[in-house]
A and B are shown apart, each in its own frame.
Chain A
């Protein structure tokens, strides 16, 4: 148990836990000691010297070892001749700290003066103005005039792209080192660093592409000046013009909390538009960070990228119509007797959308399916993370097992959380078919051969090897299971094996334990909680539908080989944000509101339900999916709510797991550390405070006694064949990513990866090749990488290359004739 220490800061008696730095102890007590280089989420370095304070300690008699007392009996306090940095000095019993004395104030002023000697007077043109710690602290503590000769100021480059996402202004940089340390300590990507020394110290990057880190945007939050700015927001708006709206990122199943900053502007015809995305603090989910996909990948919601009006196919052309007309058309079709209705929903729809669409479909005697590549969600309801398990508490004694998941690509903030748990002492075991970025932090790494996942998992408990012993001794076991190299069937086998592992170790439902499925989308978990399943055979399911409604999914874009099936569908209605290949084939298209334009709730992969609110208004007539479902329902005599809190209550009635939850209960929040918000921008950065609530976890449904393991069809591995393996990449070509032009360079194209030896054996080189998967031929780019296991070719999902599961493949060099081949 850490000890409680009593000390006095600025005449205020304070109690603090031992090993706390003075700057944190003060902050918790509401006393602000200004800092630049210090950041509460990183190690102290004591570099900027801004936090110099007077520190006095009880005087101890050297001879007797006893404290010396004043006349009145109080302990004599001896102040050091030198000031000390509050960020590197831990609290000690009886300490007396003076932060506002003449000495400390003078020191602070002098350090600010030093920093301003090299700092340009850029405020009028600097993005940071208005939310700038240097500005704010100078106004409060700094000198009013400069004594430094203007002509002596060093002139340095001002618009240096550190890669295309982040820009550096060398004149503004105050060499606090927060960005370099963040990349090194937190992100694990030391791709920016210091160059030269002394006054010439500057930030550089040498990676290709520059600043090659998916967490790079966070450095613009913690940079205390306008040195690091994002290309997405540069010169976009003044902070004081912005209003902040609390929301959730919808790109992956982590459910990072974000704030959407909006502004009403003339150049958007007086509309209120989204200007930037910032992280919102939720220490239970994403801390104070978000990944670049969440930060920069919001342009899919921009009005000009969207379908503006409902469309109906007339003379084989999609023609704009009114919403009423479109809905009437769908309703008319569904009223036809014997219509086999199939609804296919995507995981990016909110709980309310999913519920209404399912209710509508079922009451219209149809079948509702989830579009996805992984199964086993019902297992997470039984053996998922319990109410008393949190990822931030995992440390020594806890075991984390990551199976078939490249977390860095699939769920970056889970990667970060797992890495941090490992750094705190948790034992990390990684099982994958190939090397991934978690291997470096793992205690045990097992690379199985793709196709032999189940064997690898079930062997874990056998024998007396270190891995088996580790798991048997574990005080808690958290398992992340993804879809790396897996298809629906095999992912089910992996999920059930993982669930069985939890049951057989007796850790299912215990603190520090649970199964987390690393889904593709933000609310796939929500779909599973409501009883959705994925179709056994997508092609067949599509063909068997008389009327097919697709909401929030683009199957044809992902799997071009479904063209035949789609063309056989008699009636296709698509509810979508923007034009996609699936939309192109539809009979009726209805544009839907994006997450920025509406409210709702998502269930993250760790089964946390969180609420989001609208930031901007949708275009006139563009409605959320759940409202459209209700309007459609009305035409069919099906009663559904249109209001999200009310729908949520209905969800609780229909699915017991949600019954104790309301929007109200989800909006509860507590004080979090570190302190963030306006007053604390100098301390934690521009991350926003959380006033919308931290969400709540769903309870486990039943305690599972034994899980039936669905065994997948074992792969008959043959080294003479080339096996194509589906993997997920962060910046894929899906329609929520491809509109963010800024990320263009980092997006995958039609590309496949294989080991140089495999390529050599096949007689191909890097470059244009033709990939054959079954009957489907497709020109792709071939990239050689030594981390790809030999005999396999990695195919990214959502890149327009139809791969469902591990399959035989052929690769040949592209020649003039076969360059444009598609289906053979």
Chain B
């Protein structure tokens, strides 16, 4: 990659100040579209770009924006900065180091869906990040880039941050809305979907931070330009958060379609001396585990190709496990995570994650007895397809796929 598009601070560290961002052409796009008075046109451009949600679901962003009904108002946009998926730390870097591009993306989204209020929901641990964003927003207000009658138009826009308080489930969009409304962060029944009945019961768009950070460039340079990156079905660039048993863990901005091999070895510095890659979890704890065969390593990291491996790219939080690690141990960590984060609303997730966690505590010499293996497999299958929200469904993925592909790590 020659020029950074999202992690631009790595080339222009001053981009984290308003002056710095303005100097680099910041907010010109926002002003242009406000002047242009064509929100539908903005939605069209984003649709054409093929930008897909970067939070994990990969839903086409422009299509999501077009779902909001015009006859119900007001509209809202909420940026999902709840980044809590283990192995994910990309949104944090964006908000810390390139906040204004993210905010401009949020503001363009607000204009496109005709929202006058935008919120950033941050996880509670991002206390300082939130403070920083608040200061950025204040600067924008002072500069007249946020407020009433922007640039002489009739469009008014304001942004606010809202801090969570330590609940992974609040990254799920309907639970996020419940949390923002001052209730327990438990997912809602769908339908109705947030596009029709969202924040405060009004049509709402919820987008991931990274998704929104792409928006100013797409609107400025056009859908065609954006599609030059990535693949046909997965266009654009992605920030891959690489962690685990690699020498250079970190965020890597690469076009979608880059292979695992390139990410892990060319950019990520490979593994420790003498160690081989054993398994890849492409979507953090919610992954379907990929056995690190040469074929797998050569697979391009885009939504379709990873799905072709029987897994899913998700948020591209790539955790690498080397051959010194037992997959049973990995599974234990993951199940414990889901058990801790289960909101408790629905029976299978609440009872099932606790049950699986308990079973995994009964290992002998780091292995499970045959009865417990059978039992945990049965419990996982019992959870499948019964839960109220994706958390419960994802909780079993790593376990089931690890047991299938690394049985020797589990069987005593």
Q: What residues make up the interface of A, taking CB atoms closer than 8 Å to B? A: 44-50, 52, 81-83, 88, 107, 110-111, 113-115, 117-118, 147-149, 152, 174-175, 194, 196-201
Q: Complex formed: what's the CA distance from A175 to B346 in Å?
A: 9
Are A47 and B343 in contact (CB-based, < 8 A)? no
Q: In the assembly, what is the distance between CA of A199 and CA of B358, in Å?
A: 12
Name which residue of chain B comes closest to A177, CB basis: B345
Contact assessment for A117 and B351 in the assembled complex, using a CB-CB cutoff below 8 Å: yes
Taking the closest CB of chain B, its distance from the CB of A776, in whole angstroms, is 50
B351 touches A118 (CB 8 A): yes
**B343, A198: Cβ atoms under 8 Å?**
yes
Tell me if B412 is interfacial: C-beta within 8 Å of chain A.
Answer: no
Contact B189 A88 (CB under 8 A): yes
Which residues does chain A contribute within 8 Å of B169, judged by CB atoms? 197
A175 CA / B340 CA spacing, docked (Å): 17
B interface residues with partner A (beta carbon < 8 Å)? 167, 169, 184, 189, 339-348, 350-355, 358, 361-362, 375, 378, 382, 385-388
B164 to chain A, nearest CB (A): 13
| Complex contact A199–B354 (CB within 8 A) | yes
Which of B347, B386, B387 is the most central at the interface, judged by chain A CB atoms within 10 Å of its CB? B347
* Pair B344/A197 contact, Cβ less than 8 Å: yes
Chain B residue with the shortest CB-CB distance to A196: B344
Q: Are B385 and A47 in contact (CB under 8 A)?
A: no
- Check A194–B184 contact: CB distance below 8 A: yes
User: By the criterion CB–CB under 8 Å, are A152 and B340 in contact?
Assistant: no
Q: Give every chain A residue within 8 A of B378 (Cβ-Cβ).
A: 147
A55 to B388, CA, bound (A): 17
Q: Given A46-B189, A198-B339, A198-B343, is A149 in contact with B351 using a C-beta cutoff of 8 Å?
A: no
Which A residues touch B346, using CB under 8 A?
A: 46-49
Interface of A is mostly: loop
Known: A113-B382, A114-B351, A114-B382. 4 other contacts (CB 8 A): A115-B347, A147-B378, A148-B355, A198-B350
- A116 CB to closest chain B CB (Å) equals 9
A-side contacts of B354, CB under 8 Å: 117-118, 198-199
B347 partner, pick from A47, A82, A88, A149, beta carbons under 8 A: A47
Q: Which residues in B have their C-beta under 8 angstroms from that of A47? A: 345-347, 388
Given contact pairs A110-B382, A198-B354, A199-B342, A49 touches B189 in the complex (Cβ within 8 A) = no
Are B344 and A175 in contact, CB atoms less than 8 angstroms apart? yes
Which of B167, B341, B352 meets A114, CB within 8 Å? B352
Once the chains are docked, how many angstroms separate the CA of A46 from the CA of B349?
13
Q: With A and B bound together, what is the CA distance between A614 and B184 in angstroms?
A: 48
Cβ of A149 and Cβ of B344 under 8 Å apart?
A: no
Q: Provided the pairs A47-B345, A49-B388, A111-B386 are in contact, do residues A199 and B350 lie with their beta carbons within 8 angstroms? A: yes
Q: Choose among B340, B361, B362 the residue that contacts A198 (Cβ–Cβ < 8 A).
A: B340
| Closest chain B residue to A154, Cβ basis | B354
Give the residues in chain A near B361, CB-CB below 8 Å: 152
Q: Find out whether the CB atom of B350 lies under 8 angstroms from the CB atom of A82.
A: no
Chain A nearest CB from B340 CB (Å) reads: 7
B351 contacts A115, C-beta separation under 8 Å: yes
In the complex the two chains form, what is the Cα distance from A46 to B191 in whole Å?
Answer: 12
Chain B residues near A111 (CB, 8 Å)? 347-348, 386
Q: Could you tell me the distance between the alpha carbons of A47 and B341 in the complex, rounded to whole angstroms?
A: 17
Residues of the B chain whose Cβ atoms lie less than 8 Å from the Cβ of A45:
189, 345
A49 CA / B387 CA spacing, docked (Å): 8
Q: Known contacts A114-B347, A114-B351; decide if A149 and B382 are in contact (CB<8 Å).
A: no
- Chain A residues in 8 Å Cβ range of B353: 198-199
Measured between beta carbons, the chain A residues less than 8 angstroms from B362 are 149
Cα distance A52–B388 when bound, in Å?
A: 11
Q: Choose one: B343, B386, B387; the contact of A197 (CB below 8 Å).
A: B343
Question: Cα distance A175–B344 when bound, in Å?
Answer: 8
With A44-B189, A45-B189, A52-B386 in contact, is A201–B348 under 8 Å at CB?
Answer: no
Residues of B within 8 A of A44 (CB): 189
- Whole-angstrom distance from the CB of B201 to the nearest CB of chain A? 14
8 closest A-B pairs by beta carbon, nearest first, are A114-B351, A201-B344, A199-B354, A198-B342, A152-B358, A110-B382, A198-B344, A197-B344
Q: Chain B residues with Cβ under 8 A from A149's Cβ? A: 358, 362
A199 touches B339 (CB 8 A): yes
Cβ distance B74 to chain A, nearest Cβ, rounded Å? 23
Chain A nearest CB from B387 CB (Å) reads 8
In the complex, what residue of chain B is closest to A153 when comparing beta carbons? Answer: B358
A102 vs chain B, min Cβ distance (A): 15
In the complex, what distance in Å separates the CA atom of A152 from the CA atom of B339?
A: 14
A118 to B184 Cα, complex, angstroms? 23
Q: Which of B346, B378, B387 has the most CB of A within 10 A?
A: B346
Is the Cβ of B347 less than 8 Å from the Cβ of A48? yes
Q: Decide: A199 and B351 in contact? CB cutoff 8 A.
A: yes
| Chain B: minimal CB distance from A203 (Å) | 12
Return B248 CB to nearest CB of chain A, in Å.
35
B338 to chain A, nearest CB (A): 9
Known: A117-B351, A149-B358, A198-B344. A107 touches B386 (CB 8 A): yes
Cα separation A159 to B252 with both chains bound (whole Å): 55
Contact indicator B189/A83 (Cβ below 8 Å): no
Nearest B residue to A44 via CB reads B189
Minimum CB distance partner of A81 in chain B: B385
From B392, which residue of chain A is reached at the shortest CB distance? A49
Residues of A within 8 A of B347 (CB): 47-50, 111, 114-115, 174-175
For A197, the chain B residues whose CB sits under 8 A away are: 167, 169, 184, 342-344
Q: What separation, in Å, do the CA atoms of A50 and B346 have in the docked complex?
A: 10
Contact status A198-B341, CB under 8 Å: yes
Per the bound structure, the CA–CA distance linking A197 and B346 in Å amounts to 11
A278–B358 alpha-carbon span in the complex (Å): 41
Bound CA span A47–B188, Å: 10
A115 to B167, CA, bound (A): 24
In this complex, what residue of A is CB-closest to B191? A88
| Cβ-defined contact, B385 with A82, below 8 A | yes
Q: Which residues of A contact B355 (CB under 8 A)?
A: 114, 117, 148, 152
Could you list 5 examples of A-B contacts with CB < 8 Å? A115-B347, A152-B355, A175-B347, A196-B344, A200-B344
Residues of A within 8 A of B184 (CB): 194, 197
Please name all residues of chain B whose beta carbon is closer than 8 Å to the beta carbon of A194 when the two chains form the complex: 184, 344
B345 touches A83 (CB 8 A): no
CA distance A573 to B110 in the complex (A): 81
Q: Which residues of B contact A82 (CB under 8 A)?
A: 385
Q: Roughly how many angstroms separate A196 CA and B354 CA in the complex, as a whole number?
A: 14
Alpha-carbon distance A769/B358, docked complex (angstroms)? 61
B343: nearest residue on chain A (CB-CB)?
A: A197
B345 surroundings in chain A (CB, below 8 A): 45, 47
Write the nearest CB–CB distance from A439 to chain B, whole angstroms: 22
A198 CA to B386 CA, complexed, in Å: 16
Give the nearest-CB partner of A202 in chain B.
Answer: B344
The minimal Cβ–Cβ distance linking A536 to chain B, given in whole angstroms, is 55
| A48 to B351 CA separation, bound complex (whole angstroms) | 11
Q: In whole Å, how far is A143's beta carbon from the nearest beta carbon of chain B?
A: 11
| Cα–Cα, bound, A49→B349 (Å) | 10
- Cα A197 to Cα B169 in complex, Å, equals 11
What is the chain A residue whose CB lies nearest that of B371?
A147
Q: What residues of B have a CB within 8 angstroms of the CB of A50 in the complex? A: 347
